[in-house]
Amino acid sequence: MSDKEKDRLENKGLSLDERPLFCDKRPKSYKPLNKYWEKFLNWARANSLWLLAYGTGCGAIELRPLMTSRFDMYRWGIAPRPTPRQAGVFIIGGYLSIKTLKRVIRSYEQMQGPKFVIGLGSCTINGGMYWDSYNTINRLDHYIPVDVYVTGCMPRPEAIIAGFNKLKELIKQGKADGDNEYVKNLEWYKKNQKQIIKDWDMPDYNW
């Protein structure tokens, strides 16, 4: 078996007709360039945060004010984008049910790397007020890597901006490396995902 064949996933659970519709190649790690180029690129990434927002229930309510003139997130280099393939930052606000977790995973895997994740609100950290619900997850970072958490129920816009600023610091320092962590520990993340999502009708890597 060639190295190219070893590097491919079987995408079990999909019919033979569906398998060609999805990528069956494992994700690749992002390899930094030389010290000075990477420092420049991280500066550019930190000051150009293209945002994919995934809000559930109350999770999205505090994101809207960020776009108003009072907070003006655009002055921080933050701009919303309509699709995962155009975004570099994934912000997830509010509780995640089993059904929505599947969509979050799919959106995350469709994003180009390097990519970053912000967990917004207590529900992404420990389940919040839904911590003992049969239909919600308690820790987002068991299913996709999280670079920054913003605590609160819900966090005010000022706290969200502080979270973005913290992410910018980590990016400039080269410490926001969740993308590579996901690739390195793909089997562990997939195992956790499949323990929750019983009707797994997606390929193992589906961008």
166-197 confidence digits (pLDDT tens): 999 999 998 998 889 999 998 899 889 888 88
pLDDT interval class at 63 (50, 70, 90): confident
What string of H, E and C letters represents the secondary structure of 155-179? CCHHHHHHHHHHHHHHHHHCCCCHH
> Averaged over 12-19, what is the pLDDT?
72
Which CATH number is 54-207 given?
3.40.50.12280
Residue 153 pLDDT greater than 90, yes or no: no
Q: What is the mean pLDDT of the chain?
A: 84
Print burial letters for 32-50: b (CB count within 10 Å at least 16), e (below 16): eeeeeeeeeebeebbeebb
Cα–Cα distance, 180 to 190 (Å, whole number): 15
3-state secondary structure of 206: coil
Instruction: Give the pLDDT band of residue 50 (cuts 50, 70, 90).
Output: very high
State the DSSP string of 112-166.
Answer: PSS-EEEEESHHHHH-GGGTT-TTB-S-GGGTS--SEEE-SSSPPHHHHHHHHHH
Indicate the pLDDT class of residue 207, thresholds 50, 70 and 90.
very low
Q: Identify the three-state secondary structure at position 28.
A: coil
**Measured between alpha carbons, how far is 52 from 58 in angstroms, rounded to an integer?**
17
Give this prediction's pTM: 0.85
pLDDT (mean) for 104-120: 90
Token code pair at residue 65: 């004010």
| Domain coordinates in residue numbering, the chain | 54-207
